[in-house]
Amino acid sequence: MKIGVPIRLMGPQSTRETVRQCAQAAEAAGFDDLWVPDHIAIPPDDAEGSGGRYLDPLTSLAYLAASTERIGLGTGILNLPYRPPLPTAKALATVQELSNGRLRLGIGLGWMDAEFRALGVDRRRRGRITDSTLAFFADCFTRDEVISNDQPFLFLPRPPRPPVYVGGAAPHALERVVRYGDGWMPMEGNAEKLRGEISQLRELATTAGRESPEVILMTGVRLEDPGKARAYVEGLADAGVTQLALGVKYEDADGFKRSIDAMVTALMDTIRAL
């Protein structure tokens, strides 16, 4: 099992130095991937905790690519209906190229009504928009010459396609994984519920002639009882989860480092052995 960690791109923790130091601390501690969230238009009445301040995820990952050497750089998740396909594909290819292939593309459909209104996007079309965008990405990373709006163009640079992890709930997310993705990012961490859904995902992949998809779960653990935390992690691994992105609370980079050091002490050996 792999282990990742989310980094805050919102609120007072989203300063240049803090995000850089957190990314470097995660890399030094041996984490496989770091993950960043995506919000683009927080309304004033829903700004508690962030103050409405959010950094753009892809721009932030480009910055962190230059600040790190090894750790994977993931969007957890990027809301595809929020963005036009061609400029987004170009941004993804750029981060993938300049990071030397470290981008991990977690994608979602978006959920906040206010953001869809601010963007002028019909929320009811989010599934169709997501599917067409994923299909377009597949074209871009498969061939040098791509067609958009009946116009052929060269999609270069064309680095290896980043792995695509589809966020959301069964059954639609599972079907989307098999059509377009490499793995699933479920929305909840109940091991028994996940066991059945992951089994369903594997059956769909087998029927489609696909390899067994990865399953990346963003969750948290309470380290006050290390034995209970280890049992929770072991249960998720037994259910089929292949990577945990373990969130931590922190006020600044020093607090982040203390939190991940505690996590490494309590869980890293257990996770690596699974």
Domains recognised in the chain with CATH numbers: 2-273 (3.20.20.30)
**pLDDT at res. 44:** 96
**pLDDT at res. 140:** 98
Burial of 216 (0-12, 13-18, 19+ CB in 10 A): buried
Low-confidence ranges of the chain (pLDDT < 50): none
Structure tokens at 106: 């977690």
**Predicted confidence (pLDDT) per residue in 180-238, tens digit:** 999 999 988 999 999 999 999 999 999 999 999 999 999 999 899 999 999 999 999 99
**pLDDT at res. 193:** 96
In whole angstroms, give the CA distance from residue 162 to residue 97: 10
Q: Is the pTM of this model over 0.75?
A: yes
**pLDDT at res. 238:** 97
**pLDDT at res. 175:** 97
**pLDDT at res. 154:** 98
**pLDDT at res. 24:** 98
**pLDDT at res. 3:** 97
**pLDDT at res. 15:** 98
Task: Label residues 7-20 b or e (16+ Cβ within 10 Å = b).
Answer: bbbbbebbeeebbb
